[in-house]
């Protein structure tokens, strides 16, 4: 039992010295807990065990002075290898290396996934956990690596969590238990939403069997039939975008991140349905991204596409994701550093932005702004909606 680095059992104290040594403490010390000894015999046993460890050369005893002169004050580690030998303990670095070799044995994985997995081994060598996984979880870590590699290889597309997990590692609940670790491994290769939950991030990558509907508002045809103008919007499955057509070109196409802003735009800004407005449901699923690509192919380049999100790292990620899906110029709507500076607030926590390939993107200036230490963020609900334009 330990009380603030005080011990009643010598073996616990000695192992604690090595634990802290493995965590980077050069010469850790431990103290006897004189008030915790059950009786005099327990104290004598403690003293004899510490004396034996000192004779091994691994530790040194430091005696107290003054009124407690001659009493053991503390025990200091001076030679870790000798104490390992005395206790019959294998160094965590050696154990971690062996566990790491076994964890990665026979796996053909992306170099970035391997480099990230090595961070876990390094953490284990210092007697620490990585993404809540300790060295005792090496088998689970191997499963996390296999799941991440399968996602990189797109084996997850159109599958739900449990079916995908069962097919890859023969455990339907493995991904649910390991999603944090898998997300870090995948994030070493792919650009993920900066602050998303694992499920939202994986859905954006296509790990979702049933995607939420897309909400469309405007003048369009569905299976050749005009949608009644009395409908504020219509929800369709992303795969149904192929049935959408137009007898009149929209003045613009606007995708919106937040549901409240979507509704306000319809009710306050574009009451005449001059454009086609879509609610993409936050992080757009892979099915939604494919639907947007289908839509872009239906409309000429003269119809401008816009996106409206929160001014924050996630908003720029959503913008770039939609931009890649469209394969054409996308314009930010009510997303600028000027608006952030005027109406925004300081970030409460810093999120590292992966700039990626934003050269030529209309969001590049905002991405650059958000990497600055004094950048502000802004929820899109703070701005009144208006018809987008390219000026």
Closest CA to 330 of 284, 366, 362: 362
Determine phi and psi for 307, rounding to 5 degrees. -135, 140
Q: What H or E segment, with its residue span, contains residue 305? A: strand 305-308
pLDDT digits (tens, 9 = 90+) for 56-106: 999 999 998 877 787 899 999 999 999 999 999 999 889 999 999 999 999
Q: What H or E segment, with its residue span, contains residue 330? A: strand 330-332
In 3-state terms, what secondary structure has residue 379? coil
Residues 6+ apart with CB under 8 A from 181: 120, 130, 131, 132, 133, 140, 141, 144
Q: How far is CA 147 from CA 119, 136, 139, in A?
A: 17, 19, 13
Closest CA to 233 of 245, 243, 219: 219
- Entry pTM: 0.73
Determine phi and psi for 214, rounding to 5 degrees. -90, 140
Q: What H or E segment, with its residue span, contains residue 214? A: strand 214-217
Q: How far is CA 259 from CA 156, 165, 228, 380, in A?
A: 28, 32, 21, 11
pLDDT of residue 352: 62
Residues 187 and 278: their CA atoms lie apart, in Å, by 28
Residues 202 and 176: their CA atoms lie apart, in Å, by 12
pLDDT of residue 350: 65
Residues 234 and 213: their CA atoms lie apart, in Å, by 9
Q: Residues, the chain, total?
A: 391
Helix spans in the chain (H): 10-22, 40-55, 80-87, 92-104, 111-125, 138-152, 161-169, 174-187, 198-204, 259-264, 286-298, 313-326, 337-343, 364-370
Contact 78, 59 (CB under 8 A): yes
CA–chain centroid gap for 87, Å, is 39
Q: Spell out the long-range contacts of 194-197 with Cβ–Cβ below 8 A and sequence spacing 24 or more.
A: 194/313, 194/314, 194/317, 194/351, 194/352, 194/353, 194/354, 195/312, 195/313, 195/314, 195/351, 196/283, 196/314
Q: What is the DSSP string of 236-286?
A: E-GGGGGGEE-SS--S-EEEES-HHHHHHIIIII-TT--SEEEE--SSPPH
Spell out the per-residue pLDDT of the chain, length 391, in tens: 444 589 999 999 999 999 999 988 989 999 999 999 999 999 999 999 999 999 999 999 999 887 778 789 999 999 999 999 999 999 988 999 999 999 999 999 999 999 999 999 999 998 899 999 999 999 999 999 999 999 999 999 989 999 999 999 999 999 999 999 999 999 999 988 876 788 888 988 989 878 889 999 999 999 999 998 889 999 999 999 999 999 999 999 999 999 999 999 999 999 999 999 999 988 899 999 999 999 999 999 999 999 999 999 999 999 999 999 999 999 999 999 999 999 999 987 766 665 556 778 999 999 999 988 899 999 999 999 999 987 5
- As a dihedral over the C-alpha atoms of residue 40, residue 41, residue 43, residue 49, rounded to 10 degrees, the angle is 160
Contact 296, 326 (CB under 8 A): yes
Closest CA to 347 of 384, 320, 310, 301: 310
Is residue 144 left, alpha or beta, with left meaning phi > 0 and alpha meaning psi from -120 to 50? alpha
Closest CA to 118 of 132, 136, 130, 107: 130
pLDDT of residue 1: 45
Contact 382, 312 (CB under 8 A): no
């Amino acid at each position: 039992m330990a009380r603030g680095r005080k011990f009643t059992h010598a073996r616990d104290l000695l192992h604690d010295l090595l634990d802290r040594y493995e965590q980077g403490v050069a010469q850790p010390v431990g103290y006897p807990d004189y008030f915790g000894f059950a009786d005099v015999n327990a104290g004598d046993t403690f003293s004899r065990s510490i004396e034996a460890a000192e004779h091994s050369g691994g530790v040194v005893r430091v005696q107290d002075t003054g009124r407690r002169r001659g009493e053991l004050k503390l025990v200091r580690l001076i030679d870790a290898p000798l104490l390992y030998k005395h206790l019959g303990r294998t160094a965590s670095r050696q154990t971690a290396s062996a566990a790491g070799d076994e964890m990665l044995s026979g796996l053909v994985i992306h170099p970035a996934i391997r480099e990230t997995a090595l961070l876990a081994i390094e953490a284990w060598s210092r007697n620490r956990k990585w993404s809540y996984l300790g060295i005792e979880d090496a088998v689970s870590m191997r499963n996390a690596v296999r799941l991440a590699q399968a996602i990189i290889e797109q084996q997850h597309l159109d599958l739900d969590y449990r079916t995908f997990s069962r097919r890859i590692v023969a455990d339907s609940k493995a991904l649910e238990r390991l999603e944090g670790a898998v997300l870090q491994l995948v994030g070493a290769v792919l650009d993920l939403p900066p602050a998303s939950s694992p499920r939202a991030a994986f859905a954006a990558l296509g790990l979702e069997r049933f995607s939420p509907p897309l909400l469309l508002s405007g003048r369009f045809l569905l299976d050749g039939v005009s949608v009644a103008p009395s409908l504020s919007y219509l929800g369709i499955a992303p795969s149904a975008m192929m049935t959408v057509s137009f007898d009149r070109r929209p003045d613009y196409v606007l995708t919106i991140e937040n549901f409240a802003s979507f509704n306000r735009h319809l009710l306050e800004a574009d009451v005449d349905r001059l454009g086609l407005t879509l609610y993409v449901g936050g992080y757009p699923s892979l099915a939604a991204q494919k639907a947007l690509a289908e839509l872009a192919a239906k409309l000429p380049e003269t119809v401008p596409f816009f996106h409206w999100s929160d001014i924050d790292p996630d908003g720029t990620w959503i913008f770039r994701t939609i931009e890649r899906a469209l394969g054409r110029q996308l314009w930010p709507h009510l997303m600028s550093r000027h608006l952030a500076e005027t109406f925004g607030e300081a970030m409460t926590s810093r999120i590292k932005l992966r700039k990626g390939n934003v050269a030529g993107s209309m969001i590049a200036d905002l991405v650059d702004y958000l990497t600055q230490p004094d950048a502000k963020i802004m929820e899109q609900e703070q701005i009144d909606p208006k018809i987008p334009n390219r000026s």
